[in-house]
Amino acid sequence: MPDKEIIKNQVEWFTSPLTPEQFTELSETENSLIILEIPLRDYTLTEIARIVESNNAHVMALSVIPVSAGERLMVSLKLDVDDLTSVLRSFERFNYRVVYSYMKEGEVTDRQKERLDELMYYLEM
């Protein structure tokens, strides 16, 4: 795709209103998605990027939508890592509210969690 066409597509995407479906949609190039809910007064992109990059991940795409009459923001981060566990733990450690997360690999299912709980119970006996 020529550079002019890429620029034209980006300008059209930027100037058109973002629908909720577009906000949560995963593209084929990103492996993971995190959606944070942040009060407007606490939003600092540099802090969010620092947390992500300190876990050896990179922000591939970012979208921000104001909610609650502009008092809160929904921040969608598409990352280039398969396993979000360390990034999610870092956001929790810094008191960010993770509304949604999706990762292609490394996701702990309910069944795996139950088995881990059973193992921990057995080890405590």
The pLDDT score that the predictor gives to residue 58 is: 92
pLDDT in tens, 3-41: 566 656 656 665 666 666 665 554 444 578 888 999 999
The pLDDT score that the predictor gives to residue 6 is: 60
Mean pLDDT of the region 51-79: 88
CA neighbor of 77 nearest in space, from 86, 67, 87:
87
pLDDT of 49 > 90? The answer is yes
> For 28-42, 46-60, 111-125, which range has the lowest pLDDT when averaged over its residues?
111-125
Decide: pTM greater than 0.85: no
What distance in Å separates the CA atoms of residue 56 and residue 50, rounded to the nearest whole number?
10
CA neighbor of 42 nearest in space, from 76, 87, 72, 78:
72
Domains of the chain: which residue ranges? Answer: 29-124
pLDDT in tens, 67-111: 878 788 888 888 888 888 899 999 999 999 998 888 766 555 666
The pLDDT score that the predictor gives to residue 24 is: 55
Residue with tokens 């209103």: 17
The pLDDT score that the predictor gives to residue 26 is: 45
CA neighbor of 88 nearest in space, from 55, 43, 117:
55
Burial class (CB in 10 A: 0-12, 13-18, 19+), 51: middle
Q: Which helix (H) or strand (E) holds 56?
A: none
To the question of domain 29-124 being in CATH 3.30.720.210, the answer is: no
Mean pLDDT of the region 43-52: 95
